[in-house]
Amino acid sequence: MVMKMENQYFIDSEHLSVEAIKIKHRLESDPLSRKNHMEYLPGMEQIESDICEKVITQMNAYDYFQYKEEDVKAALEHESCTIEDFKALLSPAAEPFLEQMAQRARIETRKHFGNTVYLFTPLYIANYCENYCVYCGFNCYNHIRRMKLSMEQIEQEMRVIAESGMEEILILTGESRAMSDIEYIGEACKLAHKYFRMVGLEIYPVNTQEYRYLHECGADYVTVFQETYDAEKYETLHLLGHKRVWPYRFDAQERALRGGMRGVAFSALLGLADFRKDALASALHVYYLQRKYPQAEMSLSCPRLRPIINNDRINPLDVHEKQLCQIICAYRIFLPFVGITVSSRESAKFRNGIVKIAATKVSAGVSTGIGDHESKYTGKESESAVGDEQFEINDSRNLETMYRDMEKEGLQPVLNDYLYV
């Protein structure tokens, strides 16, 4: 258990494994653990932008208990949804109006996306990490099987995925520059560009020129989870590593757009902090950047915490499916043009329902482990070792099953809608 007293961290060793007790000594000796989480580290690019101030000012001033039934009714009656309307739709006062919200969200979704639902799959190529984030299965003090795929292994994984029919892939790594440097990720992007029409990245935040390099290697868009927009809570959850620097992470999407990426995706990990404020901040982050970079494609993810190794004390108990549905519907009403992704953290039943209302993208054939797609997709045992998963998934349907299920729901599954000319 990690505790904070007098602005210093210490470890309650009775609740940790022998391996994890090492954290105590490293936190005491490593300067990164004592550095102000709002201060940039050497090599981190700082950009001039007013987006962060706008988002955090709104979030800090948000008192969701001030909104009443009449505010929610007014928000649902307005043709376009203002920031104040959105705040009302996220509030507890909106919970009795979930059916009306769902109907409005469905109308907006059909108006802008038709009855399509986009399918993609993630590919983890390394799980080494230099951060100590108390909620993550990859954190540097969890005793798990670490692995970094070679280019040959990456290409084999991609070949297997592509043969299943998938046309969009999301490449992920743990947050370790030492084990997964920019050149390594760039080479993976070049391979992916051979096999897939759309290539996304979910890696540690980097500088503008590095995003430009990765785009030139074949990456189309970048996803960055802010985890929580509450900077004080963020500090207590990120005790070690470059990820501890909150503002550098916040500006990652803007640096990616400046680096030429076609699209960016945003998310908070719902359940880490006040989920209503995190949902507000996530949407406003999109809202303000959308106005600054109108040419960019933007999307929101809506993940909740899932069980992970060595952490049974952080659970998504405060964000239930009804509340998640409220958030997603509010997102759609406020940001009608934005893509909304619901991951395999959620059940098949929930995902089947929400794509008919507000979500536009789901993953299929998911593995959060390293190097196991061949065995999961073909049943053939991999000749290589396999790295441990980041978290447990809830919906394990493969592409064929997901495609068929979406069609049964009256939807048109889409594998790709982008052509290079």
pLDDT band at 145 (very low <50, low <70, confident <90, very high): confident
Domain ranges of the chain: 35-414
In which element (H, E) is residue 3 found?
Answer: strand 2-5
Q: Give pLDDT, residue 65.
A: 98
Residue 142, pLDDT > 50, answer yes
Mean pLDDT of 20-36: 55
Band (375; pLDDT cuts 50, 70, 90) = low
Is residue 350 within 8 Å of residue 361, measured between CB atoms?
Answer: no
Q: What pLDDT is recorded for position 26?
A: 56
Residue-level pLDDT at 345: 86
Report d(CA 317, CA 334) in Å as an integer: 26
The answer on pLDDT for 91 being more than 60 is yes
Q: Residue 21 has what pLDDT?
A: 47
Q: What is the DSSP letter of 388?
A: P
Give the DSSP H/E element, type plus range, for residue 8.
Answer: strand 8-11
Specify the higher pLDDT residue, 239 or 311.
239
CA distance 378 to 364: 15
- Residue 68 neighbours by CB under 8 Å, 6+ apart: 93
pTM given for the model: 0.88
More confident site: 391 or 299? 299
Predicted pLDDT of residue 12? 38
pLDDT value at 369 more than 80: no
Greatest mean pLDDT among 79-88, 136-145, 387-396: 79-88
- pLDDT at residue 17 tops 50: no
Long-range contacts of 416-419 (CB under 8 A, 24+ apart): 416/167, 416/168, 416/197, 416/198, 417/116, 417/118, 418/197, 418/198, 418/220, 419/197
State what percent of residues in the chain have pLDDT above 90: 71
Euclidean distance between CA atoms 341 and 225, whole angstroms: 13
Q: Inform me whether the pLDDT recorded for 64 exceeds 50.
A: yes
Q: What's residue 371's pLDDT?
A: 76
Q: Which of 235-244, 277-286, 311-320 has the lowest mean pLDDT?
A: 311-320
> What's the pLDDT at 136?
81
Query: What does the pLDDT average to over 342-365?
Result: 94
Most confident of 111-120, 384-393, 408-417: 111-120
- CATH code: domain 35-414 is 3.20.20.70
Mean pLDDT score of the chain: 87
At 133, is the secondary structure helix, strand, or coil? strand
DSSP state of 392: -
Residue with tokens 């049943």: 379
Cβ pair 200, 169 in contact under 8 A = yes
Torsion angle defined by CA atoms of residues 288, 292, 297 and 299, in that order, rounded to the nearest 10 degrees:
-10
Listed range (141-155, 183-197, 258-272) with the worst mean pLDDT: 141-155
